[in-house]
Amino acid sequence: MDGSAGSDALAEMPLLPFDRAAYAPALRYLGDPAFCAERPLVMRPIPGSADFDAFGPFPYSTPPVDSGTFLAGMAALGAVTWTAVMRPGWQLPSLAGFDPLPIKEHFVHRRLGPALAQSPRARKHIRRGLAIWTIDLCAIAEVRADIVRLHGDLEARAPLSRVARVDAAHIDKLAGLAGMRCVVARASGRIGAFLIFAESGDEIHCHLTAGSMEALHLDAMYAIFDFLLSTFGRSHDLYMGGTPAGPNGEGVGRFKARFANARVPVFLARVVLDTARCENLVRDLGSHRWFPPYRDPLIDQGIMTMPDGRT
């Protein structure tokens, strides 16, 4: 599609909960919440300097229709650079103003896509999970304590990037946002796994998920994803995220592929808003091959993009 077609498509796309101003307080664990063209983001101090840059929101943002006005607004806020993952599925040239870097593909189940062909092994795991777990849709606030507990357990046993290590306040803010919903797996009256997702128009975007080791071994996630497809698969496109980095990433990718009938690209926006200050920071703090070039990803604990495209 040409540039005008891309802008028209963006203008028609319903915003995600992550795109709305009310989401900004949920990002406080990453920095100081801010707004640009009513879009939420965070301002982060740059270690070793008096400057700051803009990031996010997490997990991703719908590209603004007017990229020039948006970037000018962020420059007016005083940020040196802006980095953000763009909403999955958007192709160039809609992202051309953001120096986009392809970072990974996300797994999607498209409601009008080809029929899902699941292996006998996958169907076996689904049957087992549904036999053990009761799957329910519920309000986030109703199961807030279980979400915090399970996500805390996940952080304790698995390496998560800085942006994925959400705090309890993030969960609390999600509970008050329109369009945020939760699926839980229960057995013997206890919640063993959850998945929080965002609903916007005819799209569903998975946001946070975690389960106890027992729930994972007993196929709770198979039951949850089968529930999502059974409940929403004919009415919505389901965006399940990509393959995470880390030792368990390959297995997570294989799992998601069992529920997907498509894959879509995901791009990282990389914008220098103040060239002179960025060059000064590189001179004073050193240069890296990732973006922003003055930040050390080892210090930032996974926020930035690595040279091979991983975040």
Q: Over the stretch 223-241, which tens digit does the pLDDT of each residue have? A: 999 999 999 999 999 999 9
81-120 tens-digit pLDDT:
999 999 997 766 667 788 888 888 999 999 999 999 899 9
Give the pLDDT band (50/70/90) at residue 300: low
Report which of residues 249 and 264 the model is more confident about. Answer: 264
Name which of 265, 280, 289 is nearest 102 in CA terms. 265
Which residue has tokens 């196929």?
219
Are the C-beta atoms of 182 and 231 separated by less than 8 Å? no
* 24 has a pLDDT exceeding 90: yes
Q: What is d(CA 252, CA 213) in angstroms, rounded to the nearest whole number?
A: 14
Question: What is the residue-averaged pLDDT of the chain?
Answer: 89
Report which of residues 2 and 214 the model is more confident about. Answer: 214
Q: What is the pLDDT of residue 306?
A: 39
Give the pLDDT band (50/70/90) at residue 11: low
Q: What is d(CA 142, CA 310) in angstroms, rounded to the nearest whole number?
A: 35
176-196 tens-digit pLDDT:
999 999 999 999 999 999 999
Are the C-beta atoms of 180 and 174 separated by less than 8 Å? yes
Q: What is the pLDDT of residue 292?
A: 94
Dihedral of CA atoms 270, 284, 277, 74 in degrees, nearest 10, equals 40
Crossing angle of helices 220-232 and 120-132, in 10° steps, is: 100
Give the pLDDT band (50/70/90) at residue 222: very high
Percent of the chain with pLDDT over 90: 72
- What mean pLDDT do residues 39-62 have? 94
Are the C-beta atoms of 46 and 53 separated by less than 8 Å? yes
Give the pLDDT band (50/70/90) at residue 278: very high
Q: What is the pLDDT of residue 51?
A: 96
Residue 19 three-state SS: helix
Lowest mean per-residue pLDDT among 141-150, 246-255, 259-268: 246-255
Residue 41 three-state SS: strand
Phi, psi of 109, deg, nearest 5:
-110, 110
- What mean pLDDT do residues 278-282 have? 97
Q: What is the pLDDT of residue 123?
A: 96
Token digits for 222? Answer: 């198979």
Are the C-beta atoms of 85 and 61 separated by less than 8 Å? yes
- What mean pLDDT do residues 66-76 have? 91
Q: What is the pLDDT of residue 9?
A: 56
CA atoms within 13 A on the CB side of 171: 25
Q: What is d(CA 305, CA 311) in angstroms, rounded to the nearest whole number?
A: 4
Q: What is the pLDDT of residue 63?
A: 85
